Amino acid sequence: GKCGGFTSDIVDAIRWAVGLPVPGVPSNPNPARVLNMSFGGYACNSSGVCGCDAASQSAIDDAVAAGAVPVVAAGNSNRPAVESSPANCNGVITVAATGRQGQRASYSNYGPLVEIAAPGGGSGAGVLSTLNSSLTSPDLGGYTYGNYQGTSMAAPHVAGIASLMLSVNPALT
């Protein structure tokens, strides 16, 4: 949601999106093959040990076993991606952001957990995105556009490419 959510919400959303059962929720009749997860947060404890929480990792493992490709934003803290979850979970494609000239965007998380980078905007230039002006529900007449920057803008580029690849060859793993 607009102000975030609980890990349990994210875990249920991952599971539901790929067609796995979620107690108390109707089954998803159209399971996704590709998940774009343009969210994240700091994932290190007070001792500085960083890692993906067990519930998130379990949901991602189940999604991958169901044939889904989880694509995640690396984070926007100009820090190693290992410090951000779900970017530090196993089985995901972690996406950093590039600026207009193809360089790592100044805000983008980085490091060996990053598999790929995609346009995320930088130096005042963003990625054009659709917006909805409603505060409570989709407003069919309230669509506008805005420029944003971040790894949350980069990850959908990769999710789109993964989707196109699967549309050509659904047997890809």
Chain segment 94-133, per-residue pLDDT in tens: 999 999 888 999 999 999 999 999 999 887 778 888 887 7
Question: pLDDT tens, 155-169?
Answer: 999 999 999 999 999
- Contact criterion met (CB below 8 Å) for 71 and 37: yes
pLDDT at 125: 79
Mean pLDDT of 46-67: 96
Task: With cut-offs at 50, 70 and 90, classify the pLDDT of residue 1.
Answer: low
Read off the pLDDT of residues 68-93 as tens digits, 9 standing for 90 and up.
Answer: 999 999 999 999 999 999 999 999 99
Strands (E) across 24-162 are located at 34-37, 41-42, 69-73, 84-85, 93-98, 116-119, 127-132, 143-148
